[in-house]
């Protein structure tokens, strides 16, 4: 069982930046593909970005060029650097992990989410 804990969410003005972190409780973090998803009120959960075990990255078109996913295997942590934020980025952001699934999924493990609110 892998537990994922997100942090770094908050309130930011449009055009600002935030960095989300997701810490994983596993000693084999490097064996997991990781993803970030988001869910806005009244909408389905959407894919944002993913990073493979070997560092390959994949982004949703809506965030490409603004968001950057990275991982630090020594810290068992995956990050999502979000720049040029827009009100449309407002959502609860979730990280996910899986040893086989990658990209848009499926993922077996999910965090509880962290709220990101972008004001206009």
Average pLDDT over residues 9-21: 98
Instruction: Report pLDDT digits (tens) over 39-91.
Output: 999 999 999 999 999 999 999 999 999 999 999 999 999 999 999 999 999 99
User: How many residues are present in the chain?
Assistant: 120
Quick one: what percent of the chain has pLDDT higher than 70? Answer: 100
Q: Which of 17, 20, 26, 33 is closest to 92 using CA atoms? A: 20
On whether the CB atoms of residues 14 and 73 are closer than 8 A, the answer is no
What's the pLDDT score for residue 1? Answer: 87
What's the pLDDT score for residue 44? Answer: 97
How confident is the prediction for the chain on average, in pLDDT? Answer: 97
């Amino acid at each position: 069982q892998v537990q994922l804990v997100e942090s770094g969410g908050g309130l930011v003005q449009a055009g600002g930046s935030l960095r989300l972190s997701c810490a994983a409780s596993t000693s084999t973090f490097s064996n997991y593909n990781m993803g970030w998803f988001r869910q806005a009120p009244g909408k389905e959960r959407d894919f944002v970005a993913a990073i493979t075990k070997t560092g390959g990255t994949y982004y949703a078109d809506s965030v490409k060029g603004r968001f950057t996913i990275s991982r630090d295997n020594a810290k068992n942590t995956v990050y999502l650097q979000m720049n040029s934020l827009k009100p449309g980025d407002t959502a609860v952001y979730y990280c996910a992990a899986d040893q086989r699934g990658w990209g848009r999924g499926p993922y077996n493990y999910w965090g509880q989410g962290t709220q990101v609110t972008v004001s206009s």
